[in-house]
Amino acid sequence: MFKKIVIGGTFNRIHKGHRSILNSAFQIGSSVVIGLTSDRFASRFRIEKVPPYMDRKNNLIKFIEKFKKPYDIVEIDDSYGIATIDPEIDCIVVSEETLLRAEEINAIRFKKGLGKLTIVVVPIVLANDGKPISGDRISSGEIDIEGNILKS
Amino acid sequence: MFKKIVIGGTFNRIHKGHRSILNSAFQIGSSVVIGLTSDRFASRFRIEKVPPYMDRKNNLIKFIEKFKKPYDIVEIDDSYGIATIDPEIDCIVVSEETLLRAEEINAIRFKKGLGKLTIVVVPIVLANDGKPISGDRISSGEIDIEGNILKS
């Protein structure tokens, strides 16, 4: 078991892919720190409007309370946030598409003399059409949060 | 927790790097399958002589019995072994230097219609000189299994 796991994201609606990462993190960690993107940072690479930080945070809390484990939600304004700062963090859970970011975080930690993190790479969850589930595809009404096709 | 974790290696002497991978695998998995290289395969990329399969296997059993969890040791003759065949395996633990192999295993599983594995990447354990601990460096008498420098 890991002492303190870090994950990050925008968590606009808790879709199947989010749940896979959250489940893994809470199952193998004694505690979890979640870096939740600020409104400014979340909108930077998105076309669709992202719900406000507090809505996303409350939604997330509703989902993770069932794990009955200590957690912390911190606002992040870049992709590194607390992961390159906290010496107690020992593991990061990412999806296949963000593995490179985790490797970058480890390179920064190494340079700073902090221990590298164990990286847990969770497979991307696919929608029924075999393409990845993503917040953008859900926001545009293409699929639902379970990966069912709504329009083609 | 994962149901069935796979790891692989030659496990010639159980050094600090091996222990890090074995500890992670047994801590986050309900059961572990260990692909242990055959004598033929283990010697393929090594200069130093590798101890016989049965010696390595018995040594490994001595170390992992303390975890008190179900395990299986299978002889492997290539880098893929059981990891690309067994549908029940859900996770693979590798070190930083073998991450690419794990990604290749997932690509093969995907092509075969098997579920991709969660990949757990454990940081390489460094010897006291800041270079990685490896079986070759131990065999040549350069470092001991704890990463202490014996000769420079």
Question: Is the confidence at residue B14, as pLDDT, over 70?
Answer: yes
Quote the DSSP letter at residue B92.
Answer: E
| Alpha-carbon gap: A16 to the closest alpha carbon of chain B (Å) | 15
Residue B10's pLDDT band, with cuts at 50, 70 and 90, is: very high
d(CA A1, CA B45): 33
Quote the DSSP letter at residue B15.
Answer: -
Inter-chain Cβ pairs, chain A and chain B, closer than 8 A: 34
Question: Which residue has tokens 């009404």?
Answer: A141
Beta-strand pair B29-37/A91-95: unpaired
pLDDT in tens, A53-96: 999 999 999 999 999 999 999 999 998 889 999 999 999 999 99
CB contact under 8 Å between A121 and B121, yes or no, is yes
Q: Count the Cβ atoms, other than its own, within 10 Å of residue B33.
A: 23
Which residues from chain B sit within 8 angstroms of residue A115, using beta carbons?
123
Nearest CA in chain B to A91: B122
Closest to B21 (Cα-Cα) out of B35, B8, B40, B36 = B8
Q: Count the Cβ atoms, other than its own, within 10 Å of residue A44.
A: 12
d(CA B152, CA B109): 43
CB contact under 8 Å between A1 and B115, yes or no, is no
* Predicted-complex ipTM score: 0.90
Question: Is the confidence at residue A152, as pLDDT, over 80?
Answer: no
Interface test with B, best of A7, A109, A120, A131 (most B CBs within 10 A): A120
| Range list of H helices, chain A | 16-28, 39-43, 53-64, 99-111, 135-139
Hey, what amino acid is at A94?
A: V
d(CA B93, CA B105): 12
Which residues from chain B sit within 8 angstroms of residue A28, using beta carbons?
1, 27-28
What is the DSSP annotation of B37-54? E-HHHHHTT-SSPPPPHH
Nearest CA in chain B to A117: B123
Which residues from chain A sit within 8 angstroms of residue B28, using beta carbons?
1, 27-28
Which residues from chain B sit within 8 angstroms of residue A119, using beta carbons?
119-121
Interface test with B, best of A90, A111, A118 (most B CBs within 10 A): A118
Chain B residues bordering chain A (beta-carbon distance below 8 Å)? 1, 24, 27-28, 106, 115-123
Cβ atoms of residues A60 and A34 within 8 Å: yes
Residue A51's pLDDT band, with cuts at 50, 70 and 90, is: very high
Q: What is the structure's pLDDT at B135? A: 83
Question: Which residue has tokens 């990685």?
Answer: B132
d(CA A125, CA A109): 29
Q: What is the structure's pLDDT at B81? A: 82
pTM for this entry: 0.92
Q: What is the structure's pLDDT at A1? A: 86
d(CA B121, CA B132): 15
Residue A89's φ and ψ, nearest 5 degrees, are -65, 135
| Alpha-carbon gap: B95 to the closest alpha carbon of chain A (Å) | 9
Residue B49's pLDDT band, with cuts at 50, 70 and 90, is: confident
Interface test with A, best of B2, B120, B124, B131 (most A CBs within 10 A): B120
Using CA of residue A78, residue A84, residue A87, residue A91, what is the dihedral sign?
positive
- CB-nearest partner of B120 from A27, A116, A118: A118
Q: Span A12-35, mean pLDDT?
A: 95
Residues 6+ apart with CB under 8 A from B122: A118, B20, B21, B24, B93, B94, B95, B96
Closest to A80 (Cα-Cα) out of A136, A53, A41, A44 = A41
Question: Is the confidence at residue B56, as pLDDT, over 90?
Answer: yes
